[in-house]
């Protein structure tokens, strides 16, 4: 076989077979070896092997073994991933201050259960008769994200659909990523074929099971010890860290890492008993105003758990953003914050970090970016710019929204 360098003479015609890597020289009438082409092929092969390793996930059947039988059966039957689907890492073009939308979509794109649902054609766009169907629009962007392409793309049709669905979103003004997430979840639930209207009824649609949980509020009278319990649906938790930060600041010791507010500390404060004065509570059993103790607990956890850190505060006519760092873990056991706080089944309550949404700038202007996990690797999504991210970089981010996904159903 003839051999040449990478600087092939332009007057000699060469034909390359991209599948085998072979190069045929029309002048030599023989296969030739090119060192530069060989290097490129070796590097490309290594990249493909690395991506293949990162994209491997634990099988759905193994993950579902730890989940509630009824819930697992329903979610699994509605989440069959298309075999030819690709685990994409594509950016999204900013269509005019639409970074708030991009970070939420990137978060959902990387959630395993939603990916298997939409790529498994559980919502059949070709059979859907609904005019301007919102679920169809979401299914379309999921499909486009997982195409065999690497360049960024724009979700103009989805943006216009969201504008039509919510006049508050229409236009190119600044929007809040948390509010957009709430809009998106509510819209998916409302347009699901088998959804049930009204929170007092039990809805069994896929999106309700994936996004919604239940929060229980218990108020115990100090006099008669009667406890009044109410339940409300939730799609996220809004956690304050200002009180935790101020308490730690009063007892701060140089070099003490515990002076940094933490997500667990926020959850502890959120579910801690709160004393209510008699002026704020009228006991239904005693029939008179009495002092009472109120406590919030999670009655039911969603598969996708969104936690908002309250960084935007408004005091009368003054608004400000709090830039304090809040520490958060890669995985968290939510059992201590539920009505089953003493449960030994940690698999049922263990969540893994899926996405970290960061807001850069002040309260009136700024920019959103997101860190999302793909397999075991983290990526930074800054609109259409996608870069690798280290674990340390993710944990050091000033999180505004934290998305965790249930380990027993996500395949993490």
Q: Residue 362: what pLDDT?
A: 84
- CA pair distance 191, 166, nearest whole angstrom: 14
Cβ–Cβ < 8 Å for 330, 264:
no
Strands 312-315 and 318-321: antiparallel
Residue 246 makes CB contacts below 8 A (sequence gap 6+) with none
Backbone angles phi, psi at 172, to 5 degrees: -110, 30
Q: Residue 155: what pLDDT?
A: 95
Residue 407 makes CB contacts below 8 A (sequence gap 6+) with 63, 66, 331, 347, 350, 351, 352
Please state, for a pLDDT cut of 90, what percent of the chain lies above it: 43
| Residue 152, number of CB atoms within 10 A of its CB | 16
Q: 251 an active-site residue? A: no
Residue 313: C-alpha distances to residues 168, 240, 320 (Å): 21, 10, 5
Q: Residue 373: what pLDDT?
A: 95
Model confidence at 20: pLDDT above 60? no
Of 25, 99, 266, 372, which is the active-site residue?
99
The terminus-to-terminus CA distance of the chain in angstroms comes to 49
Three-state SS for 362?
coil
Q: 372 an active-site residue? A: no
Of 121, 195, 222, 367, which is the active-site residue?
367
Q: What is the pLDDT of residues 253-269, one digit of tens each?
A: 444 445 688 999 999 99
Closest-CA residue to 88 (of 353, 305, 381): 381
Which helix (H) or strand (E) is 48 found in, with range? Answer: helix 35-55
pLDDT band at residue 42, thresholds of 50, 70 and 90?
Answer: low
Residue holding tokens 């700024």?
A: 366
Task: Give the pLDDT mean for 123-150.
Answer: 82
Task: Give the pLDDT mean for 214-238.
Answer: 92
- CA pair distance 180, 357, nearest whole angstrom: 13
Q: Residue 335: what pLDDT?
A: 94
- CA pair distance 183, 96, nearest whole angstrom: 19
Q: Residue 316: what pLDDT?
A: 66
Please tell me the pTM assigned to this model: 0.75
Counting every residue written for the chain, the total comes to 412
**When comparing pLDDT for 384 and 43, which is higher?**
384
Task: Give the pLDDT mean for 83-87.
Answer: 40
**When comparing pLDDT for 336 and 343, which is higher?**
336
- CA pair distance 398, 326, nearest whole angstrom: 7
Closest-CA residue to 175 (of 368, 319, 46, 315): 368
Residue 91 CB burial class (10 angstroms; 0-12, 13-18, ≥19): buried
Q: What is the pLDDT of residues 295-318, one digit of tens each?
A: 999 999 999 999 999 988 766 667
Three-state SS for 117?
helix
| Structural domains of the chain ordered from first start | 2-54 (no CATH), 56-410 (3.90.70.10)
Closest-CA residue to 210 (of 237, 186, 178, 232): 186
């Amino acid at each position: 076989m003839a051999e040449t360098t990478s600087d092939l003479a332009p007057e000699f015609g060469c034909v390359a077979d991209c599948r085998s890597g072979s190069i045929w020289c029309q002048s030599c009438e023989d296969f030739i070896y090119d060192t530069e082409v060989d290097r490129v092929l070796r590097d490309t092969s290594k990249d493909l092997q690395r991506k293949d390793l990162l994209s491997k996930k634990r099988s759905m059947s193994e993950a579902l073994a730890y989940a509630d039988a009824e819930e697992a059966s329903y979610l699994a039957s509605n989440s069959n991933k298309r075999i030819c689907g690709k685990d994409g890492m594509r950016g999204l073009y900013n269509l005019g201050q639409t970074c708030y939308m991009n970070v939420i979509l990137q978060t959902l794109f990387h959630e395993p259960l939603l990916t298997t649902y939409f790529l498994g054609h559980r919502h059949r766009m070709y059979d859907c008769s609904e005019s301007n169907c919102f679920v169809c629009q979401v299914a379309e962007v999921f499909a486009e994200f997982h195409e065999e392409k690497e360049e960024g793309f724009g979700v103009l049709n989805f943006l216009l659909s969201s504008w039509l669905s919510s006049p508050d979103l229409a236009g190119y003004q600044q929007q809040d990523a948390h509010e957009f997430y709430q809009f998106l979840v509510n819209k998916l639930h409302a347009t699901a074929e088998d959804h049930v209207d009204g929170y007092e009824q039990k809805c069994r649609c896929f999106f309700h099971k994936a996004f919604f949980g239940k929060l229980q509020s218990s108020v115990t009278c100090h006099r008669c010890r009667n406890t009044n319990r109410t339940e409300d649906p939730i799609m996220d938790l809004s956690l304050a860290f200002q009180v935790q930060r101020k308490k730690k600041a009063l007892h701060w010791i140089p070099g003490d890492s515990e002076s940094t507010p933490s997500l667990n500390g926020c959850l502890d404060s959120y579910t801690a008993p709160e004393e209510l004065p008699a002026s704020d509570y009228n006991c239904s059993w005693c029939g008179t105003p009495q002092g009472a103790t109120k406590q919030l607990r999670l009655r039911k956890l969603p598969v996708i758990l969104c936690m908002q850190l309250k960084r935007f505060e408004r005091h009368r006519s003054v608004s400000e953003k709090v830039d304090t760092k809040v520490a958060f873990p890669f995985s968290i056991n939510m059992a201590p914050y539920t009505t089953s706080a003493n449960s030994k089944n940690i698999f049922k309550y263990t969540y893994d970090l899926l996405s970290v949404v960061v807001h850069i700038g002040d309260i009136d202007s700024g920019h959103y970016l997101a860190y999302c996990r793909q397999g075991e690797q983290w990526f930074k999504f800054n609109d259409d710019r996608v870069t690798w991210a280290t674990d340390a970089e993710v944990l050091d981010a000033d999180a505004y929204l934290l998305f965790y996904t249930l380990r027993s159903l996500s395949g993490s």
